[in-house]
Amino acid sequence: MALLPILRYPDPRLFKVAEPVREVDDRIRQLVRDMAETMYDAPGVGLAATQVDVHERVIVIDVSEEGDDLRVLINPEIIWKSDDLQVYEEGCLSVPGVYDKVERAASIRVRALNENGETYEFDADGLLAVCVQHEMDHLMGKVFVEYLSPLKQNRIRTKLRKQEREAVRA
């Protein structure tokens, strides 16, 4: 297993659109294991392959208290969204130290493949629904800060570029 480096906003590789997985093979299963290890180590409750510079439609999520309920979503699709919305204060491992409110569908139904290539579906609300939508945005090259005002986005970009420069000098 391996810890994978997580890209930081505004790295242009975060804006790439991921390709569907053609075959769920050992390469994809290894990627899933490495992504899960990286997510638990961070720690986070989700991770999209885009964030580790792999541009294929793979997500891992675990929103359980105990960290023992890993969900693997390969080629995920949202097949139903509620009209009612929820606002949640989101964070992102690619935008460290930034949290802000984002409005998304309150409930969703998701279809995906698991690590054995089998199709499954589940309903999600609360943090799980937020997390699935946040990670699926990553696969489309979208980072949650893009929901914020241009002024906030500029401030975040400036702050993270400064952190990056300081990290290089240290």
Catalytic annotation, residues: 135
Shortest Cβ distance from residue 133 to ligand K1U (Å)?
8
Work out what residue 128 binds among Zn ion, ligand K1U, none; the CB cut-off runs from 5 to 8 Å by kind: none
H helix intervals, 13-79: 26-41
Q: Can residue 137 be called a binding residue for ligand K1U (CB under 6 A)?
A: no
H helix intervals, the chain: 26-41, 126-139, 150-169
Q: Scanning residues 79 to 98, which ones bind Zn ion (CB under 5 A)?
A: 92
Residues 6+ apart with CB under 8 A from 150: none
Burial class (CB in 10 A: 0-12, 13-18, 19+), 12: exposed
Judged by CB, which is closer to Zn ion: 92, or 113? 92
Shortest Cβ distance from residue 94 to Zn ion (Å)?
5
Q: What would the x/- binding string for ligand K1U be over residues 33 to 62, using CB under 6 A?
A: ----------xxxxx---------------
Work out what residue 76 binds among Zn ion, ligand K1U, none; the CB cut-off runs from 5 to 8 Å by kind: none
Residues 6+ apart with CB under 8 A from 63: 45, 46, 69, 127, 128, 131
Judged by CB, which is closer to ligand K1U: 75, or 94? 94
Establish whether the linkage from the previous residue to 5 is cis, with ω within 30° of 0. no
Work out what residue 110 binds among ligand K1U, Zn ion, none; the CB cut-off runs from 5 to 8 Å by kind: none
Residues in the chain: 170
